[in-house]
Amino acid sequence: MGDGTLLEGVNSETVTTSRLATHLLTSGPEEGVSLLFVHGNTSSGRFFEDTLAALPNRYRGFAPDLRGFGGSESKPLDATRGIADFSDDLAALVDALMLGPVHLVGWSVGGAVAMRYAMDRPGGVASLVLINPLSPYGYGGTKDADGSPCWPDYAGSGGGTANPVFVRRLARGDRGEKDLNSPRNVMNKLYFKPPFRAAPDREEAYLDAILSTRIGKNNYPGDATASRNWPHTAPGTRGMSNAISPKYCNLSAFANMDTKPDVLWLRGVSDAVVSDASLLDLGTLGRLGFVEGWPGRKVYPPQPMVSQTRAVLDAYRRNGGRYREEVIAGCGHTPHVEKPGEFRRRLFAFLERH
């Protein structure tokens, strides 16, 4: 277990908002330009701790823990609202801190939360940085760049698709390496592109963040319903994996916003989590023979996650918005950890223009 000591210049606090008690990490002068970092699934704000510690003095950084993660309150997540609970929580935090418009930096699911925040708060976002973001059409169960569902009930997405061994080991606080599905191995083989490994103290801090995930039907992974369609599980109505199901999560309207902040899309070229052939997507796993009964590419192909994001951002551009896609070589799902120097150079260059 990590000793909990934060990097120099990074502080910890809990802010009680109108919605929940939110734990967050902060850095920089109080008068600095506000940067809000939003983490992804099965993680916490600690994945941005190194970035916070390296911020130039002109910025004030905030890395909150989403509900059900890190040190924030573990309130139930209403999946039928998609990721709106998270977006509303962030809005309540911004209001409590009296920040006004913020520069939003969202990683993985946090990228989709940032997009939803921008949709819900016109004028509330100064710029938007998406790091290996969740597809605008959620995770699992869709088959083309337009987000068309493979099945009418969105089977293949939701709480029933989570790896049960990983979930059990999360619940036990497993820090070992013997099982392929242990949280440490999942982090090192999927979050990061092997053979990358963080320094020992940082690895323990990131593992602490993963193990902070609250387990259950109201949080991660959520509930599920049976389906007659392959792979015979469809979304429930509660918890994390259902909130990111395309049944409830559809951000394609991002392209039609009247107010359009500039967008930087950063992604690792070897991302195994969010890609057009994700190793966590049942379409990919079925094609590879790891899940029996796969109905074939025509019915259930791998979800084209990157292509879906690009399609929505291209529509955003056609409607008057601006975005830039930048790909980081030799990098997986977590550029801010795997390639911190290159990530910060690109991030700060973008921010300096805004």
Q: What pLDDT is attached to residue 354?
A: 85
Confidence bin at 172 (pLDDT 50/70/90)? very high
Domain assignment of residue 102, yes or no:
yes
Q: What is the mean pLDDT of residues 160-167?
A: 97
Q: What is the mean pLDDT of residues 102-128?
A: 97
Confidence bin at 269 (pLDDT 50/70/90)? very high
Residue 196 has pLDDT above 70, yes or no: yes
Domain assignment of residue 97, yes or no:
yes
276 half-sphere exposure, CB direction, 13 A CA radius: 10
Residue 110: domain span: 11-152+250-352
Q: What percent of the chain shows pLDDT beyond 90?
A: 98
Q: What is the mean pLDDT of residues 273-285?
A: 97
Domain assignment of residue 282, yes or no:
yes
Helix-strand-coil split of the chain, %, nearest 5? 35, 20, 50
CA-CA-CA-CA torsion sign (270, 275, 280, 286): negative
Q: What pLDDT is attached to residue 61?
A: 98
Select from 198, 37, 19, 192 the least CA-distant residue to 92: 19
Domain assignment of residue 191, yes or no:
no
Let me know the angle formed at the C-alpha of 270 by 347 and 155, rounded to the nearest 5 degrees: 105
Which structure tokens are listed for 291? 């899940």
Residue 163 has pLDDT above 70, yes or no: yes
d(CA 17, CA 88): 11
Domain assignment of residue 139, yes or no:
yes
Let me know the angle formed at the C-alpha of 268 by 192 and 279, rounded to the nearest 5 degrees: 60
Residue 187 has pLDDT above 80, yes or no: yes
Q: What pLDDT is attached to residue 11?
A: 98
Q: What is the mean pLDDT of residues 289-303?
A: 97
Provide the CATH number for the domain around residue 102. Answer: 3.40.50.1820
Q: What is the mean pLDDT of residues 243-259?
A: 98
Confidence bin at 2 (pLDDT 50/70/90)? low
R_g (Cα) of the chain, nearest Å = 19
Confidence bin at 73 (pLDDT 50/70/90)? very high
Q: What pLDDT is attached to residue 3?
A: 67
d(CA 129, CA 176): 34
Domain assignment of residue 80, yes or no:
yes
Domain assignment of residue 305, yes or no:
yes
Select from 2, 39, 3, 8 the least CA-distant residue to 23: 39
Domain assignment of residue 314, yes or no:
yes
Q: What percent of the chain shows pLDDT beyond 70?
A: 99
Total count of domains within the chain = 1
Q: What is the mean pLDDT of residues 118-134?
A: 97
Select from 110, 27, 98 the least CA-distant residue to 65: 110
Q: What pLDDT is attached to residue 230?
A: 98
